[in-house]
Amino acid sequence: MQYRTLGRTGVQVSALALGAMNLGPIGGTTQEEATALVGAALDAGINLIDTADVYGNGISEEMVGRAIAGRRDDVVLATKAALPMGEDRNRRGSSRRWLLTALEDSLRRLGTDHVDLYQIHRWDPATSDEETLSALTDLRQAGKIRHFGTSTYPAHRLVEAQWAAREHHLGRYATEQPSYSILQRGVEAHVLPVTQHYGLGVLVWSPLASGWLSGAIRAGREITTHRSTFMPQRFDPAVPANRARLDAVERLAGVADDAGLTLIQLALGFVTAHPAVTSAIIGPRTPEHLHSQLAAAGTVLSADTLDAIDAIVAPGVDLAPQEKNDTPPALLDPALRRR
Report which of 286, 231, 288 is spatially closest to residue 27, judged by C-alpha positions.
286
Burial of 76 (0-12, 13-18, 19+ CB in 10 A): buried
Q: By CB neighbour count within 10 A (0-12 exposed, 13-18 middle, 19+ buried), where does 67 fall?
A: buried
In the chain, count H helices and then E strands. Answer: 12, 10
Identify each DSSP E strand in the chain by its residue range.
3-5, 12-14, 16-19, 48-50, 76-81, 115-120, 145-151, 175-177, 201-204, 279-282
**Looking at this protein, which amino acid is placed at residue 222?**
E
135 class by beta-carbon count within 10 Å (0-12 exposed, 13-18 middle, 19+ buried): buried
- Among the listed residues 180, 185, 252, 242, the one whose alpha carbon sits nearest the alpha carbon of residue 215: 252
Rounded Cα gap, residues 99 and 132, in angstroms: 8
Q: Is 3 a known active-site residue?
A: no
- Give the number of other CB atoms < 10 A from CB of residue 63: 27
Instruction: Give SS3 for 238.
Output: coil
Task: Exactly one of 3, 55, 118, 180 is catalytic; name it.
Answer: 55
Tell me the catalytic residues: 55
